[in-house]
Amino acid sequence: MEIFALILTVFIGLLCFVIYFGLSNFVLDYLLIYKNHSFVYENSIRVLIFIAPAFIVLFVFILYPVFETVRLSFYDKFGREFVGLHNYLWAINDPNFRRSILNNLGWLLIVPTLSTFFGLVIANLTDRIWWGTIAKSIIFMPMAISFVGAGVIWKFIYDYRGTGDQQIGLLNAIVVSFGFEPQAWLTIAIWNNLFLMAIMIWIQTGLALVIFSAALRGIPKETLEAARMDGASELRIFWSIIIPFLERTILVIWTMITILVLRVFDVIYAMTNGEWQTEVLANLMYDWMFRGGGDSGRGSVLAFCIMIGVIPILVWNLYRHRQEQQYEN
Protein backbone atom coordinates (compact mmCIF):
# COMPACT_ATOMS: atom_id res chain seq x y z
CA MET A 1 0.00 0.00 0.00
CA GLU A 2 2.70 2.47 0.99
CA ILE A 3 4.92 1.35 -1.88
CA PHE A 4 2.07 1.95 -4.27
CA ALA A 5 1.58 5.44 -2.87
CA LEU A 6 5.29 6.07 -3.24
CA ILE A 7 5.33 4.99 -6.89
CA LEU A 8 2.28 7.14 -7.54
CA THR A 9 3.98 10.15 -5.94
CA VAL A 10 7.09 9.70 -8.06
CA PHE A 11 5.00 9.29 -11.17
CA ILE A 12 2.91 12.39 -10.50
CA GLY A 13 6.06 14.36 -9.74
CA LEU A 14 7.68 13.34 -13.01
CA LEU A 15 4.50 14.06 -14.91
CA CYS A 16 4.36 17.58 -13.47
CA PHE A 17 7.89 18.25 -14.64
CA VAL A 18 7.24 16.90 -18.12
CA ILE A 19 4.13 19.07 -18.37
CA TYR A 20 6.02 22.09 -17.04
CA PHE A 21 8.91 21.81 -19.48
CA GLY A 22 6.76 20.77 -22.45
CA LEU A 23 4.16 23.43 -21.87
CA SER A 24 6.48 26.35 -21.17
CA ASN A 25 8.66 25.45 -24.13
CA PHE A 26 5.62 25.16 -26.32
CA VAL A 27 4.28 28.53 -25.19
CA LEU A 28 7.61 30.17 -25.94
CA ASP A 29 7.77 28.55 -29.40
CA TYR A 30 4.19 29.53 -30.09
CA LEU A 31 4.83 33.16 -29.22
CA LEU A 32 7.99 33.25 -31.30
CA ILE A 33 6.92 31.40 -34.39
CA TYR A 34 3.20 31.78 -34.77
CA LYS A 35 2.69 35.18 -33.27
CA ASN A 36 5.94 36.34 -34.78
CA HIS A 37 6.98 38.14 -31.66
CA SER A 38 10.66 38.49 -31.39
CA PHE A 39 12.33 38.80 -28.08
CA VAL A 40 15.70 40.30 -27.58
CA TYR A 41 16.49 37.85 -24.82
CA GLU A 42 14.93 34.86 -26.50
CA ASN A 43 17.70 32.47 -25.56
CA SER A 44 18.00 33.76 -22.05
CA ILE A 45 14.30 33.19 -21.51
CA ARG A 46 14.53 29.64 -22.70
CA VAL A 47 17.48 29.03 -20.44
CA LEU A 48 15.62 30.56 -17.54
CA ILE A 49 12.64 28.30 -18.09
CA PHE A 50 14.79 25.24 -17.98
CA ILE A 51 16.91 26.11 -14.99
CA ALA A 52 14.16 27.69 -12.90
CA PRO A 53 13.14 24.42 -11.20
CA ALA A 54 16.74 23.71 -10.26
CA PHE A 55 17.06 27.22 -8.87
CA ILE A 56 13.91 26.83 -6.82
CA VAL A 57 15.13 23.53 -5.40
CA LEU A 58 18.50 25.08 -4.62
CA PHE A 59 16.85 28.02 -2.96
CA VAL A 60 14.44 26.02 -0.83
CA PHE A 61 16.88 23.36 0.29
CA ILE A 62 20.20 25.19 0.39
CA LEU A 63 19.94 28.97 0.37
CA TYR A 64 16.87 29.35 2.56
CA PRO A 65 18.28 27.11 5.34
CA VAL A 66 21.50 29.13 5.29
CA PHE A 67 19.65 32.41 5.81
CA GLU A 68 17.32 30.85 8.36
CA THR A 69 20.33 29.54 10.31
CA VAL A 70 21.94 32.96 10.34
CA ARG A 71 18.65 34.54 11.45
CA LEU A 72 18.13 31.96 14.21
CA SER A 73 21.65 32.51 15.52
CA PHE A 74 20.53 35.98 16.64
CA TYR A 75 17.42 34.69 18.41
CA ASP A 76 16.76 32.91 21.71
CA LYS A 77 16.50 29.16 22.05
CA PHE A 78 12.95 29.01 20.76
CA GLY A 79 13.74 31.34 17.86
CA ARG A 80 11.25 33.92 19.16
CA GLU A 81 13.11 36.80 20.79
CA PHE A 82 15.94 38.74 19.26
CA VAL A 83 19.02 38.54 21.47
CA GLY A 84 21.64 40.18 19.27
CA LEU A 85 25.15 38.83 19.60
CA HIS A 86 24.40 37.06 22.88
CA ASN A 87 24.74 33.56 21.39
CA TYR A 88 28.01 34.44 19.69
CA LEU A 89 29.44 35.84 22.92
CA TRP A 90 28.38 32.68 24.68
CA ALA A 91 30.21 30.57 22.09
CA ILE A 92 33.44 32.54 22.46
CA ASN A 93 33.34 32.08 26.24
CA ASP A 94 32.33 28.43 26.14
CA PRO A 95 35.29 26.12 26.88
CA ASN A 96 33.65 23.30 24.94
CA PHE A 97 33.42 25.48 21.86
CA ARG A 98 37.10 26.39 22.03
CA ARG A 99 38.00 22.77 22.60
CA SER A 100 35.93 21.79 19.53
CA ILE A 101 37.69 24.34 17.34
CA LEU A 102 41.08 22.99 18.41
CA ASN A 103 39.97 19.42 17.85
CA ASN A 104 38.55 20.30 14.44
CA LEU A 105 41.84 21.89 13.47
CA GLY A 106 43.64 18.74 14.54
CA TRP A 107 41.30 16.65 12.42
CA LEU A 108 41.80 18.99 9.46
CA LEU A 109 45.57 18.78 9.63
CA ILE A 110 46.01 15.11 10.36
CA VAL A 111 43.28 13.14 8.62
CA PRO A 112 43.55 14.49 5.03
CA THR A 113 47.35 14.46 5.23
CA LEU A 114 47.68 10.90 6.43
CA SER A 115 44.86 9.52 4.25
CA THR A 116 46.39 11.07 1.15
CA PHE A 117 49.88 10.01 2.16
CA PHE A 118 48.92 6.41 2.85
CA GLY A 119 46.78 6.27 -0.27
CA LEU A 120 49.64 7.51 -2.43
CA VAL A 121 52.26 5.25 -0.92
CA ILE A 122 50.09 2.14 -0.98
CA ALA A 123 48.99 2.84 -4.57
CA ASN A 124 52.63 2.91 -5.59
CA LEU A 125 53.66 -0.11 -3.60
CA THR A 126 50.79 -2.26 -4.85
CA ASP A 127 51.10 -1.13 -8.46
CA ARG A 128 53.55 -3.67 -9.71
CA ILE A 129 53.07 -6.76 -7.57
CA TRP A 130 50.77 -9.62 -8.55
CA TRP A 131 48.75 -9.58 -5.31
CA GLY A 132 48.44 -5.80 -5.39
CA THR A 133 44.81 -5.96 -6.50
CA ILE A 134 43.92 -8.19 -3.55
CA ALA A 135 45.69 -5.85 -1.14
CA LYS A 136 43.93 -2.86 -2.67
CA SER A 137 40.52 -4.53 -2.41
CA ILE A 138 41.10 -5.24 1.25
CA ILE A 139 42.22 -1.69 1.98
CA PHE A 140 39.28 -0.30 0.02
CA MET A 141 36.75 -2.43 1.89
CA PRO A 142 36.20 -0.05 4.86
CA MET A 143 34.75 2.44 2.35
CA ALA A 144 31.71 0.16 2.17
CA ILE A 145 31.01 0.59 5.89
CA SER A 146 29.07 3.53 7.29
CA PHE A 147 30.87 5.73 9.83
CA VAL A 148 28.61 4.56 12.62
CA GLY A 149 29.26 0.95 11.64
CA ALA A 150 32.99 1.66 11.68
CA GLY A 151 32.54 3.31 15.09
CA VAL A 152 30.96 0.17 16.51
CA ILE A 153 33.77 -2.00 15.12
CA TRP A 154 36.46 0.26 16.54
CA LYS A 155 34.69 0.47 19.85
CA PHE A 156 35.48 -3.21 20.18
CA ILE A 157 39.07 -2.63 19.16
CA TYR A 158 39.49 0.03 21.87
CA ASP A 159 37.39 -1.79 24.47
CA TYR A 160 38.77 -1.69 27.98
CA ARG A 161 38.36 -4.20 30.79
CA GLY A 162 39.97 -3.88 34.18
CA THR A 163 43.47 -5.22 34.79
CA GLY A 164 43.29 -8.96 35.30
CA ASP A 165 40.03 -9.42 33.41
CA GLN A 166 39.89 -11.01 29.99
CA GLN A 167 40.52 -8.20 27.48
CA ILE A 168 38.01 -8.40 24.63
CA GLY A 169 39.41 -5.30 22.92
CA LEU A 170 41.99 -6.11 20.23
CA LEU A 171 44.33 -3.27 21.12
CA ASN A 172 44.32 -4.05 24.83
CA ALA A 173 44.70 -7.77 24.15
CA ILE A 174 47.87 -6.98 22.21
CA VAL A 175 49.14 -4.54 24.82
CA VAL A 176 48.52 -7.03 27.62
CA SER A 177 50.16 -9.91 25.74
CA PHE A 178 53.34 -7.82 25.67
CA GLY A 179 53.11 -7.47 29.40
CA PHE A 180 51.86 -3.89 29.64
CA GLU A 181 48.90 -2.46 31.56
CA PRO A 182 45.62 -2.26 29.62
CA GLN A 183 44.47 1.29 28.87
CA ALA A 184 41.05 2.89 28.50
CA TRP A 185 42.12 4.35 25.16
CA LEU A 186 39.09 6.51 24.52
CA THR A 187 39.42 8.35 27.82
CA ILE A 188 43.05 9.44 27.48
CA ALA A 189 42.49 13.11 26.71
CA ILE A 190 44.17 14.62 23.66
CA TRP A 191 45.57 11.26 22.49
CA ASN A 192 42.06 9.83 22.19
CA ASN A 193 41.52 12.28 19.33
CA LEU A 194 44.22 10.43 17.42
CA PHE A 195 42.52 7.11 18.10
CA LEU A 196 39.32 8.52 16.64
CA MET A 197 41.14 9.99 13.65
CA ALA A 198 42.62 6.56 12.97
CA ILE A 199 39.10 5.37 12.14
CA MET A 200 38.57 8.10 9.56
CA ILE A 201 42.01 7.49 8.06
CA TRP A 202 41.26 3.77 7.95
CA ILE A 203 38.15 4.50 5.89
CA GLN A 204 39.44 7.30 3.66
CA THR A 205 42.77 5.71 2.72
CA GLY A 206 40.80 3.25 0.58
CA LEU A 207 39.23 6.07 -1.39
CA ALA A 208 42.54 7.84 -1.93
CA LEU A 209 44.15 4.56 -2.91
CA VAL A 210 41.65 3.75 -5.64
CA ILE A 211 41.83 7.20 -7.20
CA PHE A 212 45.63 7.26 -7.06
CA SER A 213 45.83 3.81 -8.62
CA ALA A 214 43.74 5.01 -11.54
CA ALA A 215 45.84 8.17 -11.86
CA LEU A 216 49.07 6.17 -11.82
CA ARG A 217 47.94 4.41 -14.99
CA GLY A 218 47.76 7.83 -16.63
CA ILE A 219 51.51 8.42 -16.33
CA PRO A 220 53.12 7.73 -19.72
CA LYS A 221 55.16 4.52 -19.67
CA GLU A 222 57.79 6.12 -21.91
CA THR A 223 58.64 8.76 -19.32
CA LEU A 224 59.09 6.15 -16.63
CA GLU A 225 61.17 3.92 -18.89
CA ALA A 226 63.36 6.82 -19.94
CA ALA A 227 63.98 7.67 -16.32
CA ARG A 228 64.94 4.09 -15.55
CA MET A 229 67.25 3.98 -18.56
CA ASP A 230 68.96 7.08 -17.25
CA GLY A 231 69.54 5.23 -14.03
CA ALA A 232 67.14 7.12 -11.75
CA SER A 233 66.39 5.33 -8.50
CA GLU A 234 62.77 4.37 -7.73
CA LEU A 235 62.69 6.98 -4.98
CA ARG A 236 63.88 9.63 -7.41
CA ILE A 237 61.22 8.55 -9.92
CA PHE A 238 58.58 8.80 -7.22
CA TRP A 239 59.56 12.34 -6.23
CA SER A 240 60.49 13.78 -9.62
CA ILE A 241 57.99 12.11 -11.94
CA ILE A 242 55.08 10.52 -10.15
CA ILE A 243 54.38 13.30 -7.66
CA PRO A 244 54.40 16.12 -10.24
CA PHE A 245 52.15 14.05 -12.51
CA LEU A 246 49.71 13.35 -9.70
CA GLU A 247 49.71 16.88 -8.31
CA ARG A 248 46.17 17.67 -9.39
CA THR A 249 44.81 14.35 -8.15
CA ILE A 250 46.49 14.90 -4.80
CA LEU A 251 44.82 18.30 -4.47
CA VAL A 252 41.42 16.91 -5.42
CA ILE A 253 41.62 14.11 -2.89
CA TRP A 254 42.98 16.44 -0.24
CA THR A 255 40.09 18.87 -0.60
CA MET A 256 37.54 16.06 -0.76
CA ILE A 257 38.72 14.59 2.51
CA THR A 258 39.15 18.03 4.08
CA ILE A 259 35.53 18.94 3.44
CA LEU A 260 34.43 15.57 4.76
CA VAL A 261 36.51 16.05 7.90
CA LEU A 262 35.19 19.57 8.52
CA ARG A 263 31.78 18.16 9.19
CA VAL A 264 33.03 15.04 10.98
CA PHE A 265 30.22 13.87 13.21
CA ASP A 266 29.26 10.21 12.96
CA VAL A 267 32.53 8.78 14.26
CA ILE A 268 32.58 11.04 17.32
CA TYR A 269 28.89 10.55 17.96
CA ALA A 270 29.15 6.77 17.88
CA MET A 271 32.40 6.50 19.82
CA THR A 272 32.55 9.10 22.58
CA ASN A 273 29.72 11.60 21.97
CA GLY A 274 32.28 14.32 22.59
CA GLU A 275 33.16 13.16 26.10
CA TRP A 276 36.78 13.05 27.28
CA GLN A 277 37.53 16.26 25.37
CA THR A 278 36.96 14.82 21.92
CA GLU A 279 34.16 17.27 21.11
CA VAL A 280 34.03 18.60 17.56
CA LEU A 281 31.87 21.38 16.13
CA ALA A 282 29.33 19.19 14.34
CA ASN A 283 28.68 17.06 17.42
CA LEU A 284 28.51 20.10 19.68
CA MET A 285 26.03 21.67 17.27
CA TYR A 286 23.87 18.56 17.33
CA ASP A 287 23.97 18.50 21.12
CA TRP A 288 22.88 22.11 21.50
CA MET A 289 20.35 22.00 18.71
CA PHE A 290 18.57 18.86 19.77
CA ARG A 291 19.49 17.66 23.24
CA GLY A 292 17.65 18.57 26.41
CA GLY A 293 14.84 20.42 24.69
CA GLY A 294 17.03 22.03 22.09
CA ASP A 295 18.39 25.52 21.65
CA SER A 296 18.08 26.72 18.09
CA GLY A 297 19.98 29.94 18.84
CA ARG A 298 23.19 28.40 20.11
CA GLY A 299 22.86 25.46 17.73
CA SER A 300 22.65 27.87 14.82
CA VAL A 301 25.73 29.77 15.93
CA LEU A 302 27.67 26.51 15.85
CA ALA A 303 26.21 25.50 12.50
CA PHE A 304 27.18 28.90 11.16
CA CYS A 305 30.75 28.40 12.39
CA ILE A 306 31.01 25.13 10.52
CA MET A 307 29.74 26.86 7.39
CA ILE A 308 32.29 29.65 7.79
CA GLY A 309 34.97 26.96 8.02
CA VAL A 310 33.86 25.22 4.82
CA ILE A 311 33.54 28.36 2.69
CA PRO A 312 37.27 29.16 2.19
CA ILE A 313 37.94 25.62 1.03
CA LEU A 314 35.00 25.71 -1.37
CA VAL A 315 36.04 29.09 -2.76
CA TRP A 316 39.60 27.95 -3.22
CA ASN A 317 38.33 24.79 -4.91
CA LEU A 318 36.16 26.79 -7.32
CA TYR A 319 38.99 29.21 -8.04
CA ARG A 320 41.35 26.37 -8.88
CA HIS A 321 38.72 24.72 -11.05
CA ARG A 322 38.28 27.96 -13.01
CA GLN A 323 42.01 28.29 -13.52
CA GLU A 324 42.27 24.77 -14.81
CA GLN A 325 39.50 25.39 -17.29
CA GLN A 326 41.23 28.52 -18.56
CA TYR A 327 44.45 26.57 -18.84
CA GLU A 328 42.74 23.90 -20.90
CA ASN A 329 41.10 26.42 -23.18
Partner 1 sequence: MKKIFIGIIALSAILLIPIKGVFAGGHYTGPDLSGQKVKIFGPWLAPEDESFRDVLSIFEKATGASVEYGGSDEFEQIINIDCKAGNPADIAVFPQPGLAANIAATGCLAPQGNDLKQMVLDHYAAGQSWVDLTTYADKNGKDQFYGIFFRVNVKSLVWYSPDNFEDNGYEVPETMEELLSLTEKMASDGNTPWCIGLESGGATGWPATDWMEEIMLRTHPPSVYDQWVSNEMAFNDQKVIDAMNFFGTFALNDKYVAGGSKAVATTGFRDSPKGLFTSPAQCMMHRQASFIPAFFPEGVEAGVDYDFFYFPAYASKDLGRPVLGAGTVITATNNNPATTELMKFLMHPEAHERFMSKGGFLTPHKGVDKSKYASDTFRGLHDILVGATTFRFDGSDLMPGAVGAGSFWTGMVDYTNGKSAKEVADAIQASWDAIK
The interface region with partner 1, picked from 10-18, 90-98, 135-143, 227-235 by CB under 8 A, is: 90-98
Torsion of CA 142, 145, 148, 154, to 10 degrees: -40
Output 255 or 273, the one with its CB closest to partner 1: 273
Nearest distance from residue 140's CB to partner 1, in Å? 30
Q: How far apart are CA 111 and CA 114, in angstroms?
A: 5
* Contacts for 129-138: CB closer than 8 Å, 24+ residues apart: 136/209, 136/210, 136/213
Residue 189 makes contact with partner 1 by CB under 8 A:
yes
Residue 93 makes contact with partner 1 by CB under 8 A:
yes
Residue 269 makes contact with partner 1 by CB under 8 A:
yes
Q: How far apart are CA 257 and CA 5, in angstroms?
A: 39
According to CB under 8 A, which one of 112, 118, 211, 295 is a site residue for partner 1?
Answer: 295
Torsion of CA 175, 179, 184, 187, to 10 degrees: -90
Residue 162 makes contact with partner 1 by CB under 8 A:
yes
Nearest distance from residue 50's CB to partner 1, in Å? 31
How far apart, in Å, are the Cα atoms of 9 and each of 6, 12, 14, 58, 226? 5, 5, 9, 21, 61
The interface region with partner 1, picked from 18-26, 35-43, 161-169, 227-235 by CB under 8 A, is: 161-169
According to CB under 8 A, which one of 20, 88, 90, 238 is a site residue for partner 1?
Answer: 90
Residue 95 makes contact with partner 1 by CB under 8 A:
yes
Output 171 or 257, the one with its CB closest to partner 1: 171
Nearest distance from residue 158's CB to partner 1, in Å? 9
The interface region with partner 1, picked from 99-107, 121-129, 234-242, 274-282 by CB under 8 A, is: 274-282
Output 257 or 285, the one with its CB closest to partner 1: 285
Residue 266 makes contact with partner 1 by CB under 8 A:
no
Residues 6+ apart with CB under 8 A from 23: none
By CB under 8 A, the count of residues binding partner 1 is: 33
Residue 179 makes contact with partner 1 by CB under 8 A:
no
Nearest distance from residue 284's CB to partner 1, in Å? 11
According to CB under 8 A, which one of 292, 312, 326, 328 is a site residue for partner 1?
Answer: 292
According to CB under 8 A, which one of 274, 285, 300, 303 is a site residue for partner 1?
Answer: 274
Nearest distance from residue 265's CB to partner 1, in Å? 12
The interface region with partner 1, picked from 21-29, 155-163, 233-241, 314-322 by CB under 8 A, is: 155-163
Residue 180 makes contact with partner 1 by CB under 8 A:
no
Please give the residue ranges that form the binding site for partner 1 (CB under 8 A): 77-78, 90, 93-95, 159-163, 165, 183-184, 186-187, 189, 269, 273-276, 286-296
